[in-house]
Amino acid sequence: MEKPHLPRTMVGLVGTSLAIVSAVVIVGMAVLGVLGYGGSPYAGILAYLVLPGLFVLGLLLIPLGNVLARRRARLAAEHGDKVPLLPVLDLNDTVTRRRTVFFGVLTVLNLLLLGFAGYQGFHLMDSPAFCGSCHSVMDPEATAHSRSPHARVACVECHIGSGASWFVKSKLSGLWQVVSVTFDLYQRPIPTPVAELRPARGTCEECHWPSKFLGDTLRVRTSYAEDEKNSARQTVILLHVGGGQTTAGPRRGIHAHVAPGVEMRYLADPKREKISTVEASFDGKKATFRTAASPAQPPPPEAWRLMDCIDCHNRASHRFRPAAAEVDQAISSGRVDPSLPWVKREAMKALRVEYPSHEAARAGIEKHVLDFYRQLDPAAWPGREARAKGAAAALGDIYCWNVWPWMKIGWNTYAPLDGHELAAGCFRCHDGEHRAEGGREISQDCGLCHSLLAVEEENPKILTQLSP
């Protein structure tokens, strides 16, 4: 009886083709990567996640094709041909021996190829490009991350812990996210906070040590008035960072909340924007501060949240900035020319309009800015045209960095809590309503955290004193 050959069955032919084509493409894309042609994250997904699966499928189809071929041969044996029930592996036969060695070498190469693809796929799934590849959903967060001080910190450093358990947990969560995106089940805007985020002691404090928060930090903020000259004003703030003192000394400053020997936990609504009860422990001495909204019955242990970095720095790596601050920064950096009269006022007008898409926003902002300067002084327009177009482009960027109409993200949708200008922030606790037994309340003294050395001044005297 003639021995069956794989290509003589469609299953074996498909399996052989899948294995060969997938292997060639994986190796080819790996070579391109070594040569510096990185490509898009989708190319990496194809090369290191999709193609390895097809490669394995092809390898599985090859023996299946062999089984089907032998079955066909056995059916033919009903006409008198003798078919062995099991294949005979005779290594004394030169042809069989060569084929066995060839098969063994190919198996080793296949395992190496799969190992390489799996390794690359593992790292691809840990990259910011992969995390932000779901454009309609993750584009806002990926854009905010790319503009943050943590832009070089990979997403997995905060969102996924080390070890197999965190890896499996993240991938299972990722599977549901894929389902949500595929069937349009996700919320708009995506709600925060992320309840499953790792504790700050395993993320933020890997770099920002509480014991190193010492002294004060001087901040100078420049803003521009909405007048014809875009008058510059400066606010000088001395931030009392503090918090790093040991248990032997006083604890002062913003980071006294997480200083050694201090532990604070609280009860709040799911968004953590309204805090009803605060329990503060200093060197084992506890005090509980309650409001009228505090639960009458003792809450279960899991209802309490231990305060850490992200309870104030809730948008540390994904900050969406207010329009006025963005425009001020653009003027200070020169991306919006301050010599254009009324540019701060007109910028704010253009940015406050609701646009259906980023494309419409860019077009609408450009039209608003250019029409204003054409009509303001037609004689001066030729000299202002280039500067006006540059300002319009910068304002378009600002809008597209912070507002995402299809995700229902507008100005101040995600307000930061590390202050009290855009959201309650500090006043979630320091509001005069949180009281302990005996009437003691959480202090409202702003001087505990900062000192205002100048507020919206043209030429602050303090800056002249610091830098004569």
Question: What is the residue range of 284's domain?
Answer: 210-317+417-466
Asked whether residue 347 is assigned to any structural domain, the reply reads yes
Residue 400 domain-assigned (yes or no)? yes
> If you average pLDDT over residues 89-107, what whole number do you get?
81
Say if 203 falls within a structural domain: no
Whether 364 and 220 map to the same domain: the answer is no
Least confident of 98-107, 237-246, 395-404: 237-246
Does residue 204 form part of some domain? no
Write the pLDDT tens digit of every residue in 447-457: 888 999 999 99
Looking at 389, 407, 425, which one is the last position of a domain? 407
Q: Are 83 and 164 in the same domain?
A: no
pLDDT class for 199, splitting at 50, 70, 90?
Answer: confident
Q: Are residues 171 and 75 in the same domain?
A: no
Question: Do both 115 and 38 map to the same domain?
Answer: yes
Number of domains in the chain: 4
Greater confidence (259 vs 373) lies with 373
Query: Predicted confidence band at 295 (pLDDT cuts at 50, 70, 90)?
Result: very high
Domain boundary among 99, 125, 151: 125
Say yes or no: 265 and 145 in one domain. Answer: no
Do residue 424 and residue 300 come from a single domain? yes
Same-domain status, 176 and 257: no
Looking at per-residue pLDDT, the higher value among 251 and 402 belongs to: 402
Listed residues 387, 407, 427: the one ending a domain: 407
Same-domain pairing of 11 and 117: yes
* Residue 100 pLDDT > 90: no
Q: Give domain status of residue 193, yes or no.
A: no
Residue 412 in any domain: the answer is no
Q: Are residues 137 and 119 part of one domain?
A: no
pLDDT at residue number 105: 85
Q: Per mean pLDDT, which of 87-101, 132-146, 435-449 is the most reliable?
A: 435-449
Same-domain status, 370 and 439: no
Residue 196 lies in a domain: no
**Is pLDDT at 264 greater than 70 in this prediction?**
yes
Each residue's pLDDT tens digit, 392-423: 999 999 999 999 999 999 999 999 998 888 89
What average pLDDT does the segment 124-153 reach?
80
Question: pLDDT at residue 20 above 50?
Answer: yes
- Say whether both 245 and 292 belong to one domain: yes
Q: Supply the pTM of this predicted model.
A: 0.75
Assign 3-class secondary structure to the chain: CCCCCHHHCHHHHHHHHHHHHHHHHHHHHHHHHHCCCCCCHHHHHHHHHHHHHHHHHHHHHHHHHHHHHHHHHHHHHCCCCCCCCCCCCCCCCHHHHHHHHHHHHHHHHHHHHHHHHHHHHHHHHCCHHHHCCCHHHHHHHHHHHHCCCCCCCCHHHHHCCCCHHHHHHHHHHHHHHHHHHHCCCCCCCCCCCCCCCCCHHHCHHHCCCHHHCCCEEEEEEEEECCCCCCCEEEEEEEEECCCCCCCCCCCCCHHHHHCCCEEEEEEECCCCCCEEEEEEEECCEEEEEECCCCCCCCCCHHHCEECCHHHCCCCCCCCCCCHHHHHHHHHHHCCCCCCCCCHHHHHHHHHCCCCCCHHHHHHHHHHHHHHHHHHHCCCCHHHHHHHHHHHHHHHHHHHHHHCEHHHCECCCCCCCCCCCCCCCHHHHCCCCCCECCCCCECCCCHHHCEEEEEEEECCCHHHHHHCC
Tell whether 281 and 347 lie within a shared domain: no
Task: Look at residue 285 and tell me if it is in a domain.
Answer: yes
